[in-house]
Structure 1
Amino acid sequence: MISRFFFPERLPAGGEVVLPEALAHHAARVLRLQDGDAVILFDGSGGEVPARLAVSGRRWSAWLDAPCAVERESPLELVLVQALASGDKMDWVVQKSTELGVAAVLPVAAARSVLRLAGERADKRVAHWRQVAVSACEQCGRNRIPEVAPVASLDAYLTASRGVRKLILAPVAGKALRDIAPPARDEAVHLLVGPEGGWSEDEVAACLRAGAEALSLGPRVLRTETAGLAALAAMQALWGDY
């Protein structure tokens, strides 16, 4: 497979671009690429550009071929509203939901979230998750980077998402996915996934008052890092590009 790299600036129509230090280091030290190797660059604005590496000492650049307008985005506008989870679970969720085609990941602080983030610590973690999304796009072939929003409270999210179709995973009271109407054309669907301990009763009630539909994923209780991904995959199979 040809290695793919996200280029952090808008790519020109042709010619040579100098690779940023981090990108060059990854190409040289991790992937062991060499002068003349074929790569693909994309800048997140859509499409991708075949290129060939040019190495001169410590200077790494790429000569660009004609851009390709190929897109691999889902026809569904799926937004994952993920309650903060501990350890490396959030990394996993961001990575895999990117592979599954989400348009955005919105991290929210829930009452039962083990992970607590605020201030500079929250900013650093969000920056890290954004890089996880970039790496996932490089791997899976997407040419547009999904948004990873700053951490917000559930109340702030509900206020900002008025009028948006919302599905909340609620194992006891929810409908099956097959019983829920598919989204209308160009309608965004926000999927709300609770933390390790699940949503509190008050949180579920607040979401339902805000117009959310309760969704069940069957008789088995799934972990927070599994539930959202299972639902996203099922939506892609029912309504998307699977």
Structure 2
Amino acid sequence: MSLPVFRSATAAEAVVGSDLTFGEDVAGHAVRVRRIGPGEDIDIVDGDGTRVRGTVTAASANELTIDVTAVTIEDSTGPRLVLVQALAKGDRDLQAIETATEIGVDDVIPWAAERSIADWPAKKREKMAAKWENLLNAASLQARRSRFPVLRELVRGASLAAAFDESDAVFVLHETARHRLSAALADLIADGSSPLPERIVFIVGPEGGISDGELEALTGRGARPVLLGPTILRSSSAGPTGLVLAQISLGRW
């Protein structure tokens, strides 16, 4: 049964049979918003793979205590799935990373592409990064994840190419590509002579598309332009669609 999930670093200290008390960071939402009370079972995760299950024994707006009934460590499975999401107007970039989190993305890289209309100016960069981080955390809890995506540093323009190496399989989701992503993933995973890559990366460009210079820099580092399908997807749905195909190809879904 899927239980309500809350996040606390204290989860890593849990021992079966012991009592574990959390402060307002957990209690405030659990009690005030979710109306959790004594006798109910909940999960506490630390965002790094630890999942603690317990029965609430005391609850107030400032403090919540559980009797720990189970502690599990959920291993990270490879390859890691990475979404490079170009900054986009109208919060389409936020929609993309929220859905990607629900699907199972492991790393998110914000990209200020040359044709991005939206931007993170220096004076607002920290605030915007915090907004993305908060959304990743909220979406992870909604999806009942124990491992949360890692938000990487903002990259700009063609410098994105330097973020990858030969151990990565990098796919540029591009409307002019001829090779389909589904076929490329099948070839990648069916090649038993080579180990799976450490990361499978999906690059989603902005509304105006990826510039020729950016595409040249990426393909020069081994990235492959691929087509999702016969229709053109928005920047908010392209990345999540690629992730779904990867999860199916890897046998996780």
Q: Spell out the pairing of 1:227-242 with structure 2 (5 A cutoff).
A: 227-242=238-253
Q: Which one of the candidate residues 182, 196, 203 is aligned to 1:178?
A: 182
Q: Which amino acid aligns with 2:174?
A: A
Taking structure 2 as the reference length, the TM-score comes to 0.86
Match for 2:4: what amino acid? S
Question: What is the CA-CA distance between 1:95 and the residue it aligns to?
Answer: 1.5
Identity of aligned residues (%): 29
Match status 1:94 vs 2:101: no
Q: Which residue is equivalent to 2:56? A: 53
CA contact (8 A) 2:114 2:156 kept: no
Q: Name which of 199, 206, 214 aligns with 2:217.
A: 206
Which residue does 1:36 correspond to in 2?
Answer: 39
Shift of 1:237: 1.5
Distance 1:71 1:57 in 2: 30
Aligned length: 242
Residue 192 of structure 2 corresponds to none
Unaligned runs of 5+ residues in structure 1 are none
Is residue 2:217 matched to residue 1:216? no
Residue among 112, 115, 136 paired with 1:112:
115
83, 88, 113: which one pairs with 1:85?
88
Distance 2:60 2:32 in 1: 14
In structure 2, runs of 5+ residues without a counterpart are: 190-194
Q: Is the 8 A contact 2:88 2:118 kept in 1?
A: yes
Change (3 A) 1:57 1:172: closer
Q: CA RMSD in A?
A: 2.2
Q: Please name the residue that 2:72 is paired with.
A: 69
Quick one: structure 1 residues 90 and 178, their matched pair in 2 at CA, closer, same or farther if it must change by over 3 Å? Answer: closer
Greater Cα offset, 63-72 or 172-181: 63-72
| Shift in Å, 1:50 | 0.8
Report the CA distance shift for 1:74/1:2 in structure 2 as closer, same or farther (over 3 A).
same
SS in 2 for 1:175: coil
Residues 48-57 or 129-138, more deviating:
48-57
Equivalents in 1 of 2:60, 2:100: separation in Å? 39
| TM-score, normalising length: structure 1 | 0.89
The answer to whether the 8 A contact 2:111-2:154 is kept is: yes
Say yes or no: does 1:141 pair with 2:144: yes
Q: CA 1:2–1:229 in structure 2 vs 1: closer, same or farther (change >3 Å)?
A: same
Deviation at 1:166, TM superposition (A): 0.9
**How big is the shift at 1:176?**
0.7
